[in-house]
Structure 1
Amino acid sequence: MAAKRILSGLVFLLAGAFLAGCSAPSAQAPVVTGRDSRLERIQNRTPDYTYQEPRTSRYGGDSIKGKTFIIDAGHGGKDPGALGKALSRLDEKQINLDTAKKVAYYLKQKGARVVMSRDDDTFIELNSRAALAERHNADALISIHADWCGTPSVSGASFFIARSAVGQSKRLASALEDEFRDRGLPVRGVRRADFRVLVKHSKPSTLIELGFMSNPAEAKKLSSSSYRTKLAKAIAAGIERAY
């Protein structure tokens, strides 16, 4: 019995040492920040949010009058993007295009010059979309998308900039995030990723993920024209807020 107790104790100690080694962080393990291990958050923001009335006074100015913006409706044609399936009446390409058209309208109302990468159900290569920024000497390129995730509970808009982006791209993404928060729209924050529409030109740019089509509640909202109008107004106001 004594031998059996000693053997049991040794097994317990070895198991504890093994588990401690597995749970202890490795000196060579990469440090990942943010919710998505593929991306890096610019900064940590306070998660708690208290609703405030939208900032209308700033949007009443003319800070974007005469400026040129490329509004890129993601996907199109043979590339539908995320499929609506049972959660949404629309595919991503349709949500992107309708929102982009609304954003263009509100920007033009403020005197901005707007160039759309597509204004119908057309497929356009990513490099061609990015090239518009240089061709038109744009003040910024804004690419509009809707997201998808294997976890249905994930929701909120994200604002992407290139990993090396500084200056105006960062200000633009932060202004968009702030505008969404001020209007009570769900956000996940500003993130970094080297999408081609962000890195294949030298102009300020951001890629907006409006929300998650994989989230039933958010998919339902994204399929609503009035909600897309709300998003478009926030994007247009956020752009003006950055300039």
Structure 2
Amino acid sequence: MKYKLKIKNLIMITMLASMPTLLDTTIANADTIEDEFLSVINKYKIEDVVVEEGISLEKGEILDLSQYPNWELSDNETIEINSNGIVKAVNEGTVFLSQRIGEKVYIVEIYVPSEIPTINIVSREAKPRGYYKVFIDAGHGGTDPGSLGCGYRESDINLQVAKKVESKLKSKGIDVKMSRSSDIYYSLSERSEMANNYGADLFVSIHQNSAEQKSANGIETYYTEKKPNDKPLSNDIQTNLINKTGAINRKVKTANFAVLTQTKMTAALAECGFISNPEEANKISNPTYQDKLATGIADGIEKYLKENVIINEIQMTATGKVINANSLNVRKGPSTSFNIIGTLNGGDEVKIVGKSNDWYKIEYNGVYGYVSGSYIELNTTEPDQDNKINFTDVGKDYWAYSQIESFVEKGYIDGYEDGTFRPQDPIKRNEFVKIFNRVFGLTEKSGIVFDDTKDNWAKDEIDIAVTNGVAQGVGDNKFEPEQYITREAAAKMLANYMNIEDKNHDKINKFSDYNQISDWARDAFEGNLEKGYIQGTDEGKLAPKNNITRAEVVTILSRVIN
């Protein structure tokens, strides 16, 4: 009997009207979610334990566990469960259910959020940046091993595959954030919160499967029925995984796993193979096969992004007309891979509101569409004499207009040849130190060269920044000049130069995500907040791991010099 599969199938949720008498339960005296988890798992032999993918329930929702009704609970405040195994979510929080079924002990984490997550529709629309953002979740970790089989821990294999996926995505120019890069425990709520704060275009969780029946094998990918529009991502990942590995296709399925329901972006969970099957366990633990898995996942992600997520869109206002064509297709997105939503005739006038690569975003029959720029002739207009910088994507009503205008006029930062400034684009480490040096008039060099800067265009700028104590390498004699700089890294460089580090963390501690600041950046972030140079985001977060934008850099440095 495939207990793991049957347990997964139990997460089909139905709404029931009433609840009979409750079972007696055990309340864990735990200070953290991990402590509560340890109080459960430590009751059993670790080799007998299978930690299931956690699920989420909204308050009032019902989970039918009647097939295996005798569950032990880590607390009796989050959910109610009756003698028939019917569960009802009653209060926000996390609870762990455990039960021995056959030869294994199954542990299921149930997370009840304080509020129903709102799908971020804006995150699924065009992005005013020139790159994709992907969140990769290596399932389980730390004190949570996931499933164990054939001498392997699921959490270890998940991380190995996830790191390979990260590397492959970065080689494609895709920005990646990992839920974990080491063997560490994170709760379900922490994983989804990290992804939501990062503002990813999509989320992918990587797992390995397990079953009582050792012959069970193959790959399956999940999405949640609560977000039906997420299915195409799962389809793309599943198809590419099967094509790359030749594994048995267990197809795309639905499940209300917490990391799928609580993330605001498109999300999928891939089960890459059965750790309980000796033959398949040898495969998924093999680096060569893991590379095939990672390639399949990365290729599936890339395919979905290119066909569904629009990036590098520049806001602009202009008019034009169709030329060199009797008929011009209007598409849903800025490439021929998007569906056609209508056509224009030669000579038709268009109102342009944006640009993505060589495609114009236009108003079309009450919606927005995209047409190839090769067939549009812009109407010439006199420049706005009051707009001294005259960027097509930075109007006088833009929140950082005055700071951008000042920095451009002083030569601290430049726009692009196409007449844009791209204020929401991220900025690389080499670009940041160049601007920093210009703003503070730094010129002293000492001949410092890193292995990865000797041929970089900003070699001298990096030398200046390091010589003047602004920046330093990242280890192994590398500087990573082409990597995007995060808010915490920018705060550290500014604190280095201004000597404003502050060990009294009374400012950063007021933000809910302060614990996401790296240890090496906490004093620097505190000092910047104290001085008012760096502020929280519009969402009331510090967002230390977010890439800092061009507009943010200009604004922060403006506060310093003014």
Task: Compute the TM-score of the two structures, normalised by the length of structure 1.
Answer: 0.71
Cross-structure match for 2:141: 76
Cross-structure match for 1:150: 212
Cross-structure match for 1:103: 165
- Equivalent position amino acid for 2:212 in 1: G
Residues 89-138 of structure 1: per-residue CA shift (max 9 Å, x gap): x3111000000000000000001110000000101111110112210111
Cross-structure match for 1:66: 131
Distance, in Å, in 1 between the alignment partners of 2:198 and 2:11 is 30
Cross-structure match for 1:182: 243
C-alpha contact 1:180 1:186 (8 A) present in aligned 2: no
Cross-structure match for 2:443: none
Question: Which protein is bigger by CA-based radius of gyration?
Answer: 2
Distance, in Å, in 2 between the alignment partners of 1:180 and 1:187 is 9
Residues 136-169 of structure 1: per-residue CA shift (max 9 Å, x gap): 11111100010111111111111011122222x2
The equivalent position to 1:120 in structure 2, one of 171, 176, 182, is 182
Distance, in Å, in 2 between the alignment partners of 1:182 and 1:140 is 22
Distance, in Å, in 1 between the alignment partners of 2:134 and 2:9 is 31
Distance, in Å, in 2 between the alignment partners of 1:195 and 1:230 is 25
Distance, in Å, in 1 between the alignment partners of 2:240 and 2:142 is 31
Cross-structure match for 2:264: 202
- Deviation at residue 37 of structure 1 after TM alignment: 4.5
C-alpha contact 2:242 2:296 (8 A) present in aligned 1: no
Distance, in Å, in 2 between the alignment partners of 1:171 and 1:127 is 25
- Deviation at residue 180 of structure 1 after TM alignment: 2.1
Distance, in Å, in 2 between the alignment partners of 1:133 and 1:123 is 16
The equivalent position to 1:236 in structure 2, one of 286, 298, 311, is 298
Distance, in Å, in 1 between the alignment partners of 2:255 and 2:9 is 11
- Deviation at residue 38 of structure 1 after TM alignment: 3.8
Cross-structure match for 1:53: none
C-alpha contact 1:143 1:207 (8 A) present in aligned 2: yes
- Deviation at residue 39 of structure 1 after TM alignment: 6.9
| Aligned-residue CA RMSD (Å) | 1.7
- Equivalent position amino acid for 2:148 in 1: L
C-alpha contact 2:11 2:256 (8 A) present in aligned 1: no
C-alpha contact 1:147 1:213 (8 A) present in aligned 2: yes
- 1:193 to 2:255 alignment: yes
- 1:222 to 2:284 alignment: yes
Partner SS, residue 227 of structure 1: helix
- Once the two structures are overlaid, the 10-residue window that deviates more, 95-104 or 201-210, is 201-210
- Deviation at residue 83 of structure 1 after TM alignment: 1.3
Distance, in Å, in 1 between the alignment partners of 2:168 and 2:158 is 16
Partner SS, residue 210 of structure 1: strand
Partner SS, residue 147 of structure 2: coil
CA distance 1:153–1:237, change in 2 (3 Å): same
C-alpha contact 2:239 2:300 (8 A) present in aligned 1: yes
- Deviation at residue 217 of structure 1 after TM alignment: 0.9
Partner SS, residue 206 of structure 1: strand
The runs of at least 4 consecutive aligned structure 1 residues that moved more than 4 Å come to none
Distance, in Å, in 1 between the alignment partners of 2:304 and 2:148 is 32
Cross-structure match for 1:26: none
Distance, in Å, in 2 between the alignment partners of 1:174 and 1:228 is 20
- Equivalent position amino acid for 2:196 in 1: E
- Deviation at residue 171 of structure 1 after TM alignment: 0.8
Partner SS, residue 241 of structure 1: helix
The answer to which structure has the higher strand fraction is 2
Matched positions, count: 181
Partner SS, residue 236 of structure 2: helix
C-alpha contact 1:141 1:203 (8 A) present in aligned 2: yes
Please list, as runs of the form range in 1=range in 2, the aligned pairs for 1:15-94 lying within 5 A after superposition.
Answer: 37-38=9-10, 66-84=131-149, 87-88=150-151, 90-94=152-156
- 1:173 to 2:238 alignment: no
- Equivalent position amino acid for 1:189 in 2: K
Partner SS, residue 148 of structure 2: coil
**Unmatched tracts of structure 1, length 5 or more:** 1-33, 41-64
Partner SS, residue 283 of structure 2: helix
Task: Compute the TM-score of the two structures, normalised by the length of structure 2.
Answer: 0.31
C-alpha contact 1:159 1:209 (8 A) present in aligned 2: yes
Partner SS, residue 153 of structure 1: coil
Partner SS, residue 242 of structure 1: helix
Distance, in Å, in 2 between the alignment partners of 1:186 and 1:205 is 23
Distance, in Å, in 2 between the alignment partners of 1:37 and 1:118 is 28
- Deviation at residue 239 of structure 1 after TM alignment: 0.7
CA distance 1:75–1:37, change in 2 (3 Å): closer
Residues 1-30 of structure 1: per-residue CA shift (max 9 Å, x gap): xxxxxxxxxxxxxxxxxxxxxxxxxxxxxx
